[in-house]
Structure 1
């Protein structure tokens, strides 16, 4: 049974949204001169998540490792969720892009 805002011990706030657990970072608003990332529909294969932003927002991101390269996975929450993947970088390039994404310098 899904939780409701009135249920005892509910993780929902009064607006019916999930409350933020405050564990993962939240990317700042995208800057006007940000770097545009090239997004594609699917990763080249199986991947593992290395880092992620908080999923309390409608869009969250994951830094992933995939077949020896690194990518950013964007998830737009909805029914169904939309997924997009950017990158195929070296570890160093991926970390630089991840930092740009978190600071609003890339999207």
Structure 2
């Protein structure tokens, strides 16, 4: 996980505007949405009890988690107003989930 985080940080250095508030630096910051990005099918419920595998930094209004649900993987989106809103997409194999996770991080999917 650290190598993925370090590689993404190196790729995006200087491309992302700095945040205007304190950032704990606990995860990668997703890129802005790219023109022509793929829209993911978000649902309100997870496939079941999950374990967080990777996550983006929670300093943003919306953060994401790559989660494992049994043998499947989903992306969990958390929108942080007063009461957080949760949405899930996926049901992929590990390999498929990794591809969608990277697409989300570089702005090619949301």
Match of 1:39 in 2: 42
Matched, 1:27 2:35: no
Alpha-carbon deviations, 1:16-35, whole Å to 9, x = none?
x8610223100000111101
1:20-99, aligned counterparts within 5 Å? 20-99=23-102
What is the alpha-carbon distance in structure 1 between the residues aligned to residue 62 and residue 91 of structure 2? 21
Q: Secondary structure at the match of 1:39?
A: coil
| TM-score of the aligned structures, taking structure 1 as reference length | 0.82
Question: Residues 18 and 42 from structure 1, CA distance in 2 versus in 1: closer, same or farther, beyond 3 angstroms?
Answer: farther
Name the counterpart of 2:5: none
Provide the aligned length of Structure 1 versus Structure 2.
91
Report how far residue 99 of structure 1 moved.
0.3
Q: What do the CA deviations read for 1:83-106 (whole angstroms, capped 9, x no partner)?
A: 000000000000000000000000
- In the aligned structure 2, how far is the partner of 1:71 from the partner of 1:22? 23
Rg larger in 1 or in 2? 1
- Deviation, 1:67, is 2.0
Query: Which portions of structure 1, spanning 4 or more consecutive aligned residues, are displaced by more than 6 angstroms?
Result: none
| Separation of aligned partners in 2, 1:105 and 1:39 | 16
Unaligned runs of 5+ in 1: 1-16
Bigger share in helix: 2
